[in-house]
Amino acid sequence: MKKVLSITAFALFSLTMLSAKTYDITLVAPTKAGSVQLKPGHYSFRVDGSTVTFKDESSKTYSTPVKIETGDKKYDETKVQATKDGDTDRLEDIELGGSKTKLGF
């Protein structure tokens, strides 16, 4: 029984690690992403439940709520959709490459 429990725990841990995949984007202008303001630069990000966490090159993190949508087909690449709002861009959504997931801000 203990062996079955440890295998189950390992399987759950592995699934958790797989769901914590990170993605990379580069922002060329100051950008509002949900409730956070991001400076231009390179960011990695991951999704945890209904929260996305961006990490900049100095490892500073920024978290904001996100709306998760599931599309009909997998997205070929990670793509950012933004609109201009004065001198700042505003993230509308991010399509996650290799998945059917779209993040709405």
Tell me whether residue 96 is exposed, middle or buried, using C-beta atoms within 10 angstroms of its C-beta: 0 to 12, 13 to 18, 19 or more: buried
32-81 tens-digit pLDDT: 999 999 999 999 999 999 999 999 999 999 999 999 999 999 999 999 99
Residue with the two structure tokens 């599309």: 71
Strand partners, 32: 37, 90
3-34 tens-digit pLDDT: 444 444 444 443 344 456 999 999 999 999 99
**Sign of torsion over alpha carbons 83, 33, 60, 25:** negative
Q: How far apart are CA 9 and CA 12, in angstroms?
A: 5
76-105 tens-digit pLDDT: 999 999 999 899 999 999 999 999 999 999
pLDDT of amino acid 63? 98
For 47, the token pair is 């999704």
